Structure formats: C-alpha cells, structure tokens
Structure 1
Amino acid sequence: MEQALSLSIKNWKEDDRPREKLLNKGRQALTDAELVAILLGSGNREESAVGLSQRILGAANNNLHELGRFSISGLMRFKGIGEAKAIAIAAALELGRRRRVEEALERFRVTSSASVFELMQPVIGELPHEEFWIVYLNNSNRVIRYVQLSKGGITGTLVDIRLAMKTALELGATAIVLAHNHPSGTLTPSDADKKLTQKIRLASESLDIRVLDHLIITEKSYFSFADHRIL
C-alpha cells in the first residue's frame, strides 16, 4: 500500500505533476512522457502514469511517429492501459498528424519533389498498406486538394483514372502530382507503377492537365519520377 501511495502523482511536488507543470510552465516544458501521462490520468499499481508513459514510449524507441503506428490492441498490452486509454492515445496522435498536414496545406505551393514529400509523407509514409493519392494544383502550383484514389494496391484495375480526371475538372486543376507509398521501404518503381503513370499522363494530356511528378514515398525518403526523368 505504501509503495502504491508513493507512486501516485498526487503525492509529487506540484511543479513535478504533469498537469500543474503544464499550467505553470507551459506545454513546451513537458516531456513526451509527461504529455502522454496527462492523457492516461493514472498508471497501475507498480508505476505512476509518467512511469507507464515512459515504458510505452520506450517500446516505440521514444519516437512519436512510431508510437502513432501502434494499434489499439497493441497499446492495451501494457498493464494499466484499457480500451479507453488506448483510444485517447491514438486520438491524440492522430490529431497531431492532422494538424501537421493542415499546417502544411495552408502554406503549400509545390516547388519541387521535396515539397510534395513534405506534404504527403505524414499522410501515407507510415501506413502498413499501399495507398495511391493525387494532389490537385492550380496554375500557381498551389494545392487545391489531395485525394485518395485507391487503397491496398495501385494496379490499373484498382485506380479509377476516369474518376481522377473528373475530380480534376471539377476542381479546375491545371496540374496534378501522383503519390503512393511502399510499406516495404523500397524506392524502386515497379512495372505497374510505370504503366499506371503513363496511363494517367496520357489521360491528363487530352484534357490539357499536366502531370508534374509521381512520388513513391516511404517513412523517411522518396523516389521522384520527374527527378529521374522517367515521367
């Protein structure tokens, strides 16, 4: 009983308690573990919320991007993490990801393959399955919208090119950028990647819409068709 009481955050000095620390010193003063501990609210009989958070982060190599890939069931494997706490963690990390995407989109103008990677990596770079997206641009190369066209593969049967062109016309797009991820981490384009790129390029040309690039995206890097002059 005495050990359980000593682990309780309520018994810590006020400046050491995550919630009070946030109020008194600001969000930036907290460690990742302390921020996660606020989401948890409590730990278990052997460790405080901060201790539990440190252990969870340790399992993710202290990397929030990696933690964001944990499933609900994966989070629930930690003692003291039930479904509600697991959902709270997953929701908070998803909000952070969406905030990063929205901030990028507000100021986004495509100027290079690197700028497309900056936009799309948070969207598809860490997924365990393939997704194919199209970024629609205006005549200043500013992003109008980006849309998922397929999930689970990018063969011609799964990507609806007519729908892609219909969306481009509805948005008034004058250019597009193609992007899909390779969960395996390989950056080499497959024959299917190349064939689909050419099909979309030909369809776009007939509507006077430019295909500026096609990016293969992984967690930390990318391959650009335009940079390698195979578009």
Structure 2
Amino acid sequence: MMIRQNYNDLCMEERPQYRAYNYGMDTLSNVELLSLVMNRGAGTKESLQQARQIYNIMGESLRNIKRARIEELEVVQGVGDCKAIAIQAAIELGRRYQMEKVARQTDLGSSLTLYNFLLPQMEDNEKERFFVVLMNQNFRLIKCIKLSEGGLTETSVDVRLIMKEAVLNNATILAVAHNHPSNNATPSKADEELTLKIYKACQIMRLFFMDHIIIAEDSFYSFHDKGKL
C-alpha cells in the first residue's frame, strides 16, 4: 500500500526554502517564490497551495497580480491582508530594483532611455502621474520625483515646484513625464501649454529642459523628438 507523504516528510531538496538557500532564487518557479513571500521564507504545503491558486486566478501573470486590488488576492482561502500585501510589496521591490539598475548603468540622455526608466512607474496605472527627472551635466540621474497624481484624465502640476526641486538638488538638466491611462500618447492642448511653461521657467533658471515625454502602455510621445523643444 502506498503511503502518502505530507509536506514535512518531503525530501529536503524539494522544499523551496532549501533550494533557494543552496541553489539560488532563480531555481524556483513563480509559485514557489510567491509561497516564500506569503509564509516569510518557509514555503509550507499550505502556502504553496495558496500561491498556486492565486497564480492561476491571476492568469499565471505577475503583472496581473501587481494590478490586482488587495481584496482580489484574498479570494483564496487563508489569504488575508498580511499575505496579500506581502506579495505586492515583493513585486514593488522588484520594480524599484529594476529602476535603480537602469538609472545606475545608463545615462538618461535620450527619450528612449527615459521611457525605459520611467515605464515601471507608469504602466498599469489607472491614474495620471507626473514625474520630474533631475540630472547632472552628464545626464546621470540625481533624483526622480513623483510630483503629483491625479484622476483618470489629468493631474495638476505647479511649475514652481519643478524649479524648486531642481534648485534644491543642484540639477542642471531636467525632464518631465506623465502617463495617459487611456494609452493614447498624443499630447493634449494642456500638455502643450504646460511644456511651454516649463521651458520658459527653465530658461529663466538657466536649466536645460531636455524633454517632456508622455507614456502609454506600448508607446510614448517625446516633445524633443517631435522638434517641439
């Protein structure tokens, strides 16, 4: 007669935390990584089952998990606020790591590098966000600041705050960016007017206004590339 093993009887090498410690995180599946996050490093049988259910419900997509509301993750039995928040915190850490890596390794002297740097901040967001990217004379990042977050179609921006941040951080080059939740990167009249205001303010402050980019899910619009800066 076959004896069914429970989790505690499994071979040590099969346990996610053992393999992570001895062979590296990259040897684990997405489900196993989720189980470690949910159970504070000890991937129990229960947390593995819960992680597998969440992953399946979310279409086997980490992107969908990131976009999900906390209560959507809690539909799995045994998953409460702590586990759901821990999962999204882990994904957020991964996103911030990627931004830090891009900023450290490359200069931001083109619209494409700006787009790649800012996309993790903008994508999958249902609200419009406005960011200021402050750089030194070599187009190296000094600081990236979320200046405002608005509704579904617009966000308000105070040009004086942009100039204040540039001066306080000793920036010589700046760029601004915002997303269009509609996924249409075409600038509005308000976008055109704001760009002109920032350009004039930068002239007065002797700052180089590099670009204003509008980010959609799969495309972007660059005022510089279009010859408008």
Q: TM-score, normalised by structure 1?
A: 0.86
Which residue pairs with 1:130 in the alignment?
128
Alignment of 1:136-147 (within 5 A): 136-147=134-145
Change over 3 Å in CA distance of 1:194–1:9 after alignment to 2: farther
In the alignment, structure 2 segments of 5+ residues that lack a partner are none
Give the whole-Å Cα distance in 1 for the aligned partners of 2:111 and 2:132. 14
CA distance in 2, matches of 1:8, 1:193: 60
Counterpart for residue 166 of structure 1: 164
Q: Which residue of 2 aligns with 1:121?
A: 119
Counterparts in 2 of 1:143-222, with a 5 A limit? 143-152=141-150, 158-222=156-220
Q: CA RMSD in A?
A: 2.5
Aligned counterpart in structure 1 of residue 104 of structure 2, from 103, 106, 109? 106
**Map of 1:14 onto structure 2:** 12
**Mapped partners of 1:138, 1:98: distance in 2:** 21
Query: How far does the alpha carbon of each residue in 1:141-200 deviate from its partner, in whole angstroms, 9 at most, with x for none?
Result: 1111111221105868x2111111122122222221110011221111111111111111
The percentage of counterpart residues that share the same residue type is 34
Number of residue pairs aligned between Structure 1 and Structure 2: 224
Q: TM-score, normalised by structure 2?
A: 0.87
Distance in 2, matches of 1:32 and 1:79, equals 19
Structure 1 residues 73-88: aligned runs within 5 Å: 73-88=71-86
**1:54 shift after superposition:** 2.6
Alpha-carbon distance in 1 for matches of 2:184, 2:75: 31
- Which of 25, 31, 51 is residue 53 of structure 1 equivalent to? 51
Per-residue CA distance 1:106-135 (angstroms, 9 max, x = gap): 234113111101211112223221111111
Amino acid paired to 1:176: L
Question: Judging changes above 3 Å, is the alpha-carbon distance between structure 1 residues 11 and 183 closer, same or farther for their aligned structure 2 residues?
Answer: farther
Structure 1 residues 94 and 201: alpha-carbon distance in aligned structure 2, compared to 1, 3 A threshold:
same
Contact in 2 for aligned 1:155/1:192 (Cα 8 Å): no
